């Protein structure tokens, strides 16, 4: 069955603008974790048929979930955050025009419609626009344009906001023209390496073959990164549209989405979107009657980090152990089942319809000359506003910190690019975030994880954590990565345990450079980065560890808890709390360092803040 896109659009507009108030509840994983499911149910019960209640995706501001948007016909859409089920009746009354005790936080100016499409929002409410909130100030949403606005399970709503218009346009032109547009736009892969997407498509197209494949890499596994999950849960059709356009350009008739099974909501929303697209004739033997056919197959990965590497991913899809292999041949030459294969990241593909809709010149007006467009980052760690932010490439790190609600002086370091990335010190927050600038600083863009660390973080411990993650996730196939990481881990273990030896720092650097140089795949080649960047920017902390001090007061073997007797109220709370029986004394309390297990429980409960961490276990 092929549906008419114009009819779908009308249906979508009726759904988005039902003539009664529309209440959208963000029910992505972040919203659900904060109780959005109960909020949704409460609103359905309170609203009956007087308002329309819809599940929508995540608008990025995960810190303040559950987030609810209310659109009263003829007025601007407004946002409420940290909503709880008990607020549902008041919210429905508010939407129906009765005054109520609720205060929306901001107005959403954009209705998410594509350029040229109809806009039906009306005047505002006199609230601040969303972009005036710290979190949204300076953001530019090309990829996340529909997130938090449309129902991710509704094909008509996606079509109503301009969805699939780029595909229809593409199918009406020769593939070469679309390839030229994507190449000229300068779009680069958002999965880590920043390889130009147009060149990758061209390389795959130009290899003579009966079959070609396009794979969407949705195996996102960096600790602290969830940009792709956010997109898949909030706007899955945008990814499908980009995938089908890629298939058309390279001449592939089978496409695969490789998604980690640990993302059950993303999997469910993808399955639903793939089925809707199939029913609408947007996939299948002849898309919209054009004669070009393509199928989309969903493959669930078991959650191994190394399977995000493209050759390991191909091995996994083929049913073999997920181990990387040497390149060349590159997947573009010899990929899935030995055929030319494009592998693109979720965000790269979600960019494709936007690039075609706005045209290469407009796309290039965002970002920098070498890195056009925007990038979605997951901003986590020591921030007040955690969430997904989308900014132009080249935005300085300090602007991202402001979105996170953190003062630059409170930032000790920012880890970019996950375990393969590096640590940028707080003194370098003017660094523009693009592929080249981050590489010059010894880090990488990676897929977009940004972990912010305050002054209580120990950089040696941070390097040890990321190295430990990578060592656990490495496949063990090649010796430099397997053995080198074990040696590096050994040195870092010694340092945090206070048994570092002279020469350890030199040995650590030598091993890091050797692993980087000699490993087979990107995992081994990049995971020394956290060690090398912390050695470069925080050498003093390493030297202090060698002398038995952890300056940040984190590494247990190197710290002592002290009671300041001048402040102590002798209340005994710490004594009751201490599981190790390490707090001694009646009138004057002190902590026995030999009994103390350095759990910090006493410090947490002390009402007088009389307990502090001191250095020097040895
Ligand atoms: C260890 C490792 C893990 C990776 N994980 C991912 C991932 O989860 N998602 C992703 O898109 N790319 C990942 N990559 C990069 C892919 O190999 C590949 O470069 C990317 O999917 C290409 O898509 P793009 O050109 O659109 O960026 C990983 C690379 C390595 C070395
Ligand atoms: S570098 Fe590490 S993860 Fe990559 S193939 Fe070698 S052992 Fe496996
Ligand atoms: S909890 Fe604090 S104030 Fe109370 S005895 Fe312990 S150190 Fe003193």
Q: What is the pLDDT of residues 533-570, one digit of tens each?
A: 999 999 999 999 999 999 999 999 999 999 999 999 99
Say how many Å lie between the CA of residue 113 and the centre of ligand 3: 59
Predicted confidence (pLDDT) per residue in 166-218, tens digit: 999 999 999 999 999 999 999 999 998 899 999 999 999 999 999 999 999 99
Residue 337 has pLDDT above 80, yes or no: yes
Average pLDDT over residues 268-292: 96
Say how many Å lie between the CA of residue 476 and the centre of ligand 2: 6
CA dihedral 193, 195, 201, 206 (to 10 degrees): -110
Say how many Å lie between the CA of residue 345 and the centre of ligand 1: 7
Residue nearest to atom 6 of ligand 3 (CA): 574
Higher pLDDT, 2 or 600: 600
* CA distance linking residue 399 with residue 550, whole number of Å: 30
Cβ–ligand 3 distance for 589 under 6 Å, the answer yes
Residue nearest to atom 28 of ligand 1 (CA): 309
Is residue 58 within 8 A of residue 28, CB to CB? The reply is: yes
| Ligand 1 probe mutation, 182, 190, 191, 351, most atoms within 8 A of CB | 191
Is residue 212 within 8 A of residue 250, CB to CB? The reply is: yes
127 Cβ contact list (under 8 Å, min separation 6): 78, 104, 105, 106, 107
Residue nearest to atom 8 of ligand 2 (CA): 475
Cβ–ligand 2 distance for 388 under 6 Å, the answer no
- Closest atom of ligand 3 relative to the 570 alpha carbon: 5
Length of the chain equals 618
Residue closest to 512 by CA, chosen among 500, 502, 527: 527
Kindly report whether the peptide bond that precedes residue 328 is cis, defined as omega within 30 degrees of 0: yes
Is residue 296 within 8 A of residue 213, CB to CB? The reply is: no
- 331 pLDDT band (50/70/90 cuts)? very high
Residue nearest to atom 4 of ligand 3 (CA): 571
Say how many Å lie between the CA of residue 568 and the centre of ligand 3: 5
* CA distance linking residue 385 with residue 7, whole number of Å: 40
H or E element, residue 606: none
- 18 pLDDT band (50/70/90 cuts)? very high
412 by DSSP, 3-state: which? Answer: coil
Is residue 223 within 8 A of residue 418, CB to CB? The reply is: yes
Residue closest to 182 by CA, chosen among 303, 8, 360: 360
* CA distance linking residue 239 with residue 143, whole number of Å: 10
Residue reference for tokens 């290469």: 360
pTM (2 decimals)?
A: 0.94
Q: Residue 154: how many CB atoms within 10 A of its CB?
A: 22
* CA distance linking residue 235 with residue 239, whole number of Å: 7
Residue nearest to atom 4 of ligand 2 (CA): 521
Say how many Å lie between the CA of residue 308 and the centre of ligand 2: 12
Question: Cα 515 vs. chain centroid, distance in angstroms?
Answer: 27
Is residue 257 within 8 A of residue 297, CB to CB? The reply is: yes
Cβ–ligand 2 distance for 476 under 6 Å, the answer yes
**Phi/psi at 401 (5° precision):** -65, -40
Say how many Å lie between the CA of residue 197 and the centre of ligand 2: 25
Question: Cα 210 vs. chain centroid, distance in angstroms?
Answer: 36
Beta strands in 63-191 (DSSP E): 68-71, 77-80, 106-108
Say how many Å lie between the CA of residue 306 and the centre of ligand 1: 9
Residue reference for tokens 């004057």: 588
H or E element, residue 493: helix 479-497
* CA distance linking residue 424 with residue 192, whole number of Å: 17
* CA distance linking residue 378 with residue 380, whole number of Å: 6
Cβ–ligand 2 distance for 520 under 6 Å, the answer yes
549 by DSSP, 3-state: which? Answer: coil
**Phi/psi at 107 (5° precision):** -105, 145
Note the maximum CA span of the chain. Answer: 88
Residue nearest to atom 2 of ligand 3 (CA): 606
Say how many Å lie between the CA of residue 310 and the centre of ligand 1: 6
Task: Indicate which ligand has the atom closest to the C-alpha of 586.
Answer: 3
Cβ–ligand 2 distance for 485 under 6 Å, the answer no
Residue 618: predicted pLDDT: 46
Average pLDDT over residues 209-234: 95
Q: Please state which of the ranges 118-127, 286-295, 609-618 shows the lowest mean pLDDT.
A: 118-127
Residue 193: predicted pLDDT: 87
Residue 115: predicted pLDDT: 47
Say how many Å lie between the CA of residue 324 and the centre of ligand 2: 7
| Ligand 2 probe mutation, 305, 308, 316, 323, most atoms within 8 A of CB | 323
Indicate the average pLDDT of the chain.
93
Number of H helices, E strands in the chain: 24, 18
Average pLDDT over residues 379-394: 97
Residue reference for tokens 């993650």: 469
Cβ–ligand 1 distance for 192 under 6 Å, the answer yes
H or E element, residue 128: none
Say how many Å lie between the CA of residue 189 and the centre of ligand 1: 9
What secondary structure, in 3-state letters, does 494-538 show? Answer: HHHHCCCCCCHHHHHHHHHHHHHHHCCCHHHHHCCHHHHHHHHHC
277 by DSSP, 3-state: which? Answer: helix
Say how many Å lie between the CA of residue 186 and the centre of ligand 1: 19
* CA distance linking residue 68 with residue 368, whole number of Å: 34
Quote the Cα angle for 81-82-86, to 5°.
110
CA dihedral 345, 350, 351, 353 (to 10 degrees): 140
Residue reference for tokens 């793939």: 274
For the record, the structure tokens of 593 come out as 């360092």
Predicted confidence (pLDDT) per residue in 89-128, tens digit: 999 999 998 766 777 888 876 555 554 445 556 667 778 8
Higher pLDDT, 366 or 132: 366
Cβ–ligand 3 distance for 74 under 6 Å, the answer no
């Amino acid at each position: 069955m092929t549906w008419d896109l114009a009819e779908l659009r009308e249906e979508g507009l009726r759904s988005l603008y039902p003539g009664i108030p529309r209440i959208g509840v963000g029910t992505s994983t972040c919203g659900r974790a904060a109780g959005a499911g109960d909020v949704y149910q409460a609103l359905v019960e309170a609203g009956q048929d007087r308002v329309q209640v819809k599940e929508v995706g995540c608008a990025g501001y995960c810190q303040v979930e559950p987030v609810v948007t209310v659109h009263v016909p003829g007025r601007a859409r407004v946002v409420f955050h940290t909503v709880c089920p008990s607020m549902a009746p008041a919210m429905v009354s508010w939407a129906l025009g009765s005054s109520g005790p609720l205060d929306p936080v901001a107005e959403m100016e954009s209705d998410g419609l594509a350029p040229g499409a109809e806009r039906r929002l009306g005047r505002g409410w006199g609230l601040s626009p969303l972009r005036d909130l710290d979190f949204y100030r300076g953001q530019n949403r090309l990829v996340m344009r529909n997130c938090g606005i449309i129902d991710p399970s509704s094909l008509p709503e996606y079509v109503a906001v301009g969805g699939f218009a780029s595909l229809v346009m593409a199918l009406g032109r020769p593939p070469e023209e679309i390839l030229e547009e994507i190449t000229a736009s300068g779009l680069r892969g958002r999965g880590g390496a920043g390889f130009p997407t147009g060149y990758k498509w061209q390389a795959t197209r130009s290899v003579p073959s009966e079959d070609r494949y396009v794979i969407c890499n949705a195996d996102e596994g960096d600790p602290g990164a969830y940009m792709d999950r956010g997109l898949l849960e909030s706007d899955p059709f945008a990814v499908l549209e980009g995938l089908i356009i890629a298939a058309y350009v390279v001449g592939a008739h089978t496409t695969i989405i490789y998604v980690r099974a640990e993302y059950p909501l993303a999997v469910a929303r993808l399955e639903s979107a793939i089925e809707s697209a199939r029913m609408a004739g947007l996939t299948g033997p002849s898309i919209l009657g054009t004669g070009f056919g393509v199928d989309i197959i969903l493959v669930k990965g078991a959650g191994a980090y190394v399977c995000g590497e493209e050759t390991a991913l191909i091995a996994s899809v083929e049913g073999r152990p997920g181990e990387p292999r040497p390149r060349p041949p590159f997947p573009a030459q010899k990929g899935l089942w030995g055929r030319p294969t494009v592998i693109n990241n979720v965000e790269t593909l979600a960019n494709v319809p936007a690039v075609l809709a706005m045209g290469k010149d407009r796309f290039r007006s965002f970002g920098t000359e070498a890195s056009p467009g925007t990038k979605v980052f997951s901003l986590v760690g020591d921030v007040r506003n955690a969430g997904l932010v989308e900014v132009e490439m080249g935005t300085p790190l300090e602007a991202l910190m402001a979105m996170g609600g953190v003062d630059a002086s409170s930032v000790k370091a920012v880890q970019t690019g996950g375990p393969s990335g590096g640590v940028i010190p707080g003194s370098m927050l003017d660094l523009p975030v693009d592929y080249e600038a981050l590489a010059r600083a010894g880090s990488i863009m990676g897929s977009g994880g940004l972990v912010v660390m305050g002054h209580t973080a120990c950089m040696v411990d941070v390097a040890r954590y990321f190295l430990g993650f990578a060592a656990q996730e490495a496949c063990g196939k090649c010796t430099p990565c397997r053995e080198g990481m074990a040696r590096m881990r050994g040195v870092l273990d010694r340092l945090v345990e206070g048994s570092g030896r002279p020469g350890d720092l030199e040995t650590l650097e030598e091993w890091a450079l050797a692993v980087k140089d000699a490993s087979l795949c990107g995992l081994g080649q990049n995971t020394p980065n956290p060690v090398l960047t912390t050695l470069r920017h925080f050498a003093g902390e390493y030297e202090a560890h060698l002398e038995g001090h952890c300056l940040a007061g984190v590494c247990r073997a190197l710290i002592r808890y002290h009671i300041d007797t001048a402040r102590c109220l002798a209340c005994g709370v710490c004594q009751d709390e201490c599981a190790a029986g390490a707090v001694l004394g009646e009138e004057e309390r002190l902590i026995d360092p030999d009994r103390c297990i350095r759990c910090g429980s006493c410090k947490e409960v002390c009402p007088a803040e009389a307990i502090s961490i001191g250095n020097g276990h040895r």
